[in-house]
């Protein structure tokens, strides 16, 4: 065991943040801490590191073990380059190397016993150098920097000139190179593109130390962790398994807790009714029995009522007008900045009810493409046209149409006066605004909070074509789940840019990968993209030495052929599933009819046990039939 937290309790003023938080982490174990925003995840990490003190409880770290923490504002050398900054982590290795070179130089001038002693010293130094991976430390630095999205040209950049996101990536690189026994990471995937996140996943999967991780990236958690610690309403719950296992076990625990509460409430109500009835008889014997039951009732320890979870909320957003089938057509779009080509001759179509995700590395032009589609930027070449009756709702993290003097509640109420107070509060709660927060002026909110208000307004706008730029930023996991369900039930069309692979997996019906200055289409979600990426990227971005018009024509033909192939494969799958559903529906309908006939038989009229059995099976068949019919309707 490398770390143990025992009965950690922490309050801020009169507000209890966490109570009796207890868990442990074994050597090499990869663990996640999850919970809604404000649950205390970051505070818990800071208590473990000794940066904050707990009101009660203790943190025990195994003797001789080192911890490393990803600080958002880590100090750096005043005038260093990125590469020089990372060399500071390897100073002990560099010193060993200097001692080796010095020993080699001295050997040339030594003899006899002095040479033997020097060679023994050299052997010890060389052994320590090899254990520290000294012969490969430069390539190790290069590998980590490239893995986190820095090019070799970036290595010579001064750290003082870096953006906040770039400095965070440098800090993460330093931490990974330091290789502490216990690595504590708070949102490490912020400021990373998809390729860098994938690289980090692989690195952490093979990391030799233990890991304690806070992240809202559920796909990332699924790939890495084997234990999940949930902070909920101040309490701590520990689950074995990855994020997917945690979700299943969490839902089972919550269902069991709710069932136990409801069962106890039913028993209490029943006992109260019996007591009341006994007292109404007004006889000595019945009154004594009532008193006996009252004493028993007083001994019952009431279970706490499970709080309503935002994960159970079902927000529905509907367009005011149904658009035509052809929603968007982009033709031969090209864009460059300062001589650097972002993309060239990009063409694609989007049809009604599609949910299309645009993915790609940082700097490939994803946000620029959205802004061109929304008319906020002009392409160098090409055109964008919207279909019949298309109304656009646009969400840009840097462009919020809000009234700073209004409160959150009034911002929604004034824009949508038909909504009730409860409806407005439910929408704001789904986007992390609860209690008195809804009456705070918008001018007092952070940029991320203002973005969440803008997203809430957009989802209520009645637009039939939503264009979203990183909609899950600043949302916790529960709010992401609410948004996912809302988009999946949305009757309009959605086009969005996102780095959240779990979100893409749950919502996208199609993916456009902006890579090598072109768009590669995938008719499926993120898992499908991973499966087909190598094949389709090679096909769509392969260059030809022939003249450009001929190469363009071949590319378009290849695009058309691959799209047709993918569409045919999907159509076959859909037709097969439809046939399976129809067969299952027919069998269930026959079974229900047979159960009805058996229920009507005279010999079963007085057989209560058999009638209950038949009724139970019929209800199960009806429930299964309803699920199959809903799936059949969707596919049809």
Per-residue 3-state assignment (H helix, E strand, C coil) for 145-205 = HHHCCCCHHHHHCEHHHCCHHHHHHHHHHHHHHHCCCEEEEECCCCCCCHHHHHHHHHHHH
Q: In whole angstroms, what separates CA 313 from the centre of its chain?
A: 18
Q: In whole angstroms, what separates CA 633 from the centre of its chain?
A: 30
CB atoms within 10 A of CB 324: 13
What's the pLDDT score for residue 541?
Answer: 64
Q: Tell me: pLDDT of 545 over 50.
A: no
Backbone φ and ψ of 150, nearest 5°: -95, 135
What's the pLDDT score for residue 633?
Answer: 64
Q: Which fold has domain 1-66+180-241?
A: Rossmann fold (3.40.50)
Lowest-confidence region among 186-190, 206-210, 211-215, 614-618: 614-618
Q: Which of 366, 324, 304 is nearest to 514 (CA)?
A: 366
What's the pLDDT score for residue 457?
Answer: 87
Pairing between strand 465-469 and 493-497? parallel
Dihedral sign from CA coordinates of 53, 59, 60, 63: negative
pLDDT above 70 coverage of the chain, percent = 91
Q: How confident is the model at residue 25 (pLDDT cuts 50, 70, 90)?
A: very high
- What residues pair up with 635 in beta bridges, in sequence order? none
| C-alpha distances out from residue 609 to 595, 600, 615, Å | 14, 14, 10
Q: Which of 59, 44, 47, 50 is nearest to 6 (CA)?
A: 59
Q: Tell me: pLDDT of 328 over 90.
A: yes
As a whole number of angstroms, the distance between CA 333 and CA 250 comes to 47
What's the pLDDT score for residue 559?
Answer: 47
Spatial contact of 103 and 121, defined as CB atoms under 8 Å apart? yes
- Please give the class, per CATH, of domain 326-542: alpha beta
Task: Please write the tens of the pLDDT for every residue from 117-130.
Answer: 888 888 898 898 88
What's the pLDDT score for residue 558?
Answer: 47
What's the CA dihedral at 270, 273, 274, 278 to 10 degrees? Answer: 170
Lowest-confidence region among 153-162, 194-203, 435-444, 598-607: 598-607
Same fold, 1-66+180-241 and 326-542: yes
More confident residue, 613 or 66: 66
Task: Tell me which long-range contacts 530-538 makes (C-beta under 8 A, separation of at least 24).
Answer: 536/562, 537/513
Q: Tell me: pLDDT of 549 over 60.
A: no
Task: Please write the tens of the pLDDT for every residue from 216-257.
Answer: 889 999 999 999 999 988 899 999 999 999 989 988 988 888
Q: Tell me: pLDDT of 324 over 60.
A: yes
Q: What is the mean pLDDT of residues 272-297?
A: 86
Considering the chain, what is the average pLDDT of its residues?
A: 85
Q: Tell me: pLDDT of 331 over 90.
A: yes
Buried b or exposed e, range 353-370, using 16+ CB within 10 angstroms:
bbbbbbbbeeebbbbbbb
Rounded to 5°, angle at Cα 472 from 470 and 474: 105
What's the CA dihedral at 583, 586, 587, 593 to 10 degrees? Answer: 180
Domain layout of the chain by residue ranges: 1-66+180-241, 81-162, 254-307, 326-542, 574-635
| 417 three-state secondary structure | coil
Cα radius of gyration rounded to whole Å, the chain: 31
Spatial contact of 310 and 425, defined as CB atoms under 8 Å apart? no
Spatial contact of 214 and 186, defined as CB atoms under 8 Å apart? yes
What's the pLDDT score for residue 343?
Answer: 93
Q: How confident is the model at residue 349 (pLDDT cuts 50, 70, 90)?
A: very high
| 268 three-state secondary structure | helix
Q: What is the mean pLDDT of residues 151-160?
A: 90
Farthest-apart Cα atoms in the chain, separation: 115
Q: Tell me: pLDDT of 607 over 80.
A: no
Task: Please write the tens of the pLDDT for every residue from 486-540.
Answer: 889 889 999 999 988 999 999 999 999 998 899 999 999 999 998 888 888 777 7
What's the pLDDT score for residue 397?
Answer: 65
Lowest-confidence region among 30-44, 161-175, 614-628: 614-628
Q: What is the mean pLDDT of residues 183-207?
A: 88
Q: What is the mean pLDDT of residues 529-552?
A: 65
More confident residue, 632 or 105: 105
């Amino acid at each position: 065991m490398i770390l143990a937290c025992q009965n950690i309790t922490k309050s801020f003023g009169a507000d209890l943040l966490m109570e009796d938080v207890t868990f442990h982490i074994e050597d090499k174990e990869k663990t996640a801490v999850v919970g809604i925003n404000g649950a205390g995840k970051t505070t818990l990490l800071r208590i473990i590191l000794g940066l904050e003190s707990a009101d009660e409880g203790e943190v025990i770290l195994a003797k001789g073990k080192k911890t490393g923490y990803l600080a958002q504002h880590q100090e750096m050398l005043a005038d260093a380059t990125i590469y020089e900054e990372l060399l500071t982590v390897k100073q002990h290795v560099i010193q060993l190397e200097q001692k080796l070179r010095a020993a080699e130089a001295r050997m040339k001038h030594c003899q006899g016993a002095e040479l033997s002693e020097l060679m023994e010293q050299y052997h010890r130094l060389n052994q320590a150098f090899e254990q520290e991976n000294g012969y490969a430390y430069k390539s190790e630095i290069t590998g980590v920097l490239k893995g986190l999205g820095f090019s070799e040209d970036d290595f010579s950049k001064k750290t003082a000139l870096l953006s906040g996101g770039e400095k965070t990536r440098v800090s993460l690189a330093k931490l990974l190179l330091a290789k502490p026994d216990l690595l504590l990471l708070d949102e490490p995937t912020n400021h990373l593109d998809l390729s860098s996140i994938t690289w980090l996943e692989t690195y952490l999967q093979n990391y030799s130390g233990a890991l304690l991780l806070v992240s809202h990236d559920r796909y990332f958690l699924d790939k890495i962790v084997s234990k999940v610690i949930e902070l909920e309403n101040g309490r701590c719950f520990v689950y074995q398994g990855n994020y997917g296992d945690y979700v299943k076990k969490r839902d089972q625990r919550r269902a069991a807790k709710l069932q136990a509460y409801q069962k106890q409430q039913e028993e209490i109500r029943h006992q109260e009714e019996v007591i009341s009835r006994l007292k109404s008889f007004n006889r000595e014997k019945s009154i004594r029995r009532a008193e006996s039951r009252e004493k028993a009732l007083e001994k019952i320890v009431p279970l706490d009522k499970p709080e309503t979870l935002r994960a159970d909320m079902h927000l529905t957003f509907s367009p005011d007008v149904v658009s035509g089938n052809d929603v968007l057509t982009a033709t031969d779009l090209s864009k460059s900045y300062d001589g650097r080509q972002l993309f060239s001759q990009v063409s694609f179509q989007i049809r009604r009810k599609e949910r299309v995700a645009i993915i790609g590395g940082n700097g490939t032009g994803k946000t620029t493409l959205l802004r061109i589609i929304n008319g906020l930027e002009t392409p160098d070449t090409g055109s964008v046209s919207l279909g019949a009756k298309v109304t656009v709702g646009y969400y840009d993290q840097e462009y919020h149409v809000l009234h700073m003097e209004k409160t959150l509640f009034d911002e929604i109420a004034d824009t949508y006066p038909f909504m009730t107070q409860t409806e407005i509060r439910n929408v704001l709660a789904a986007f992390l605004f609860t209690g008195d927060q809804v009456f705070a002026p918008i001018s007092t909110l952070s940029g991320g909070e203002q973005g969440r208000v803008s997203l809430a307004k957009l989802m209520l706008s009645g637009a039939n074509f939503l264009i979203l730029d990183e909609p899950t930023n600043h949302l916790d996991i529960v709010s992401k789940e609410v948004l996912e369900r809302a988009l999946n039930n949305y009757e309009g069309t959605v086009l969005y840019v996102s780095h959240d692979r779990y979100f893409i997996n749950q919502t996208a019906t199609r993916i456009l990968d902006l890579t090598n200055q072109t768009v590669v289409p995938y008719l499926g979600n993120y898992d499908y993209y991973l499966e087909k990426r190598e094949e389709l990227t090679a096909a769509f971005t392969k260059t030809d030495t022939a003249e450009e018009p001929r190469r363009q024509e071949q590319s378009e033909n290849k695009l058309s052929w691959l799209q047709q192939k993918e569409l045919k494969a999907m159509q076959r799958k859909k037709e097969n599933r439809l046939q399976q559903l129809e067969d299952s529906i027919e069998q269930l309908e026959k079974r229900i009819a047979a159960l009805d006939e058996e229920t009507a038989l005279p010999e079963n009229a007085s057989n209560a046990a058999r009638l209950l059995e038949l009724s139970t099976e019929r209800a199960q068949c009806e429930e299964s039939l309803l699920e199959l019919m809903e799936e059949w309707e969707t596919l049809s």
